[in-house]
Amino acid sequence: MTRPFAPAAERNRQPILEVLRTYLSQAATVLEIASGTGQHVNYFAGELAECHWIPSEKDAETLATLGRGLAGLKRPNVAAPLIIDVIGTWPDLEVDAVIVANLLHISPPETVQALCQGAAGVCRSGGILHVYGPFMREGKHTSEGNVAFDASLRGQDSTWGIRDAEQVIKAAADSGFACLEQIAMPANNLSLVFVRQ
C-alpha cells in the first residue's frame, strides 16, 4: 500500500511546527482540520509528543486517504481520525487548539466563516486557532507566485481562490477569536494565530 505523500507538507511542516511550539501548552489536545495525507499530524505528534492529536477529514473518501497515510504509524498520541466537514455539523468535542493548513483556498468562500464558527464551538476559552496558508493582504496578492497560483485555483474550480487574511481575521473576531499574531511564513504563506475569548 502506497502512503499518500504531499511534497508541500514536507517543506512547510517545520516552519509550522515552530509556530505551534510557541502556542501549544503542554499536554494540549489539538484537533487538526483537513488533515489531508496525515503528514503534518504525524510529524507534529512526533515532535510535540506530550500533546494529544485528533486528525480529521471532510468525508469517508478523504478519510480513507488519511487512514492510509496514518496506517502503521502507531503513535499513541494520535487518535483515530474523525470525519469533519467544516461546512457541516461539527462533533461534540472540547479541545485546547484547532489547527488547519491549506484549506481556505481549496474550498468555497463560505468555508472561512464556517471554520471560525465551528472552531469556536469546539475550542475551550483561552484555546488557540491556527490557520496556515497563502492569503491576500487587504485585497492584494503578496507575490507574483500567488497571483499565478490564484488563477490556476480558480481555473480548476470557480469557487476556489486565495482568501483575504483580513476576511479571516474578521470572521474569527465575529466567532469570538482575537488575533494574537500574523506571521509571514516561507513561500509567501501566512500563519494566523487566534485565541478564543
Identified binder of ligand SAM from the candidate list 20, 54, 97, 102, rule CB under 6 A? 102
CB of 34 to ligand SAM, least distance (A): 3
Half-sphere exposure (Cβ direction) of 50: Cα atoms closer than 13 Å: 6
169 binds ligand SAM (CB under 6 A): no
Residue 128: all three cell numbers together? 488557540
At residue 52's C-alpha, the angle toward residues 48 and 56, to 5°, is 110
Cell numbers at 168, concatenated:
479571516
The window from 27-35, 47-55, 147-155, 188-196 that contacts ligand SAM (CB under 6 A) reads 27-35
Site for ligand SAM in 39-98 (CB under 6 A): 40, 57-58, 62, 85-87
Let me know: does 94 contact 124? Beta carbons within 8 Å: yes
CB of 84 to ligand SAM, least distance (A): 6
Dist CA 136 CA 164 (whole Å): 4
Q: Which amino acid is at 94?
A: E
List contacts with ligand SAM (CB under 6 A). Answer: 6, 9, 33-36, 40, 57-58, 62, 85-87, 101-103, 106-107, 111
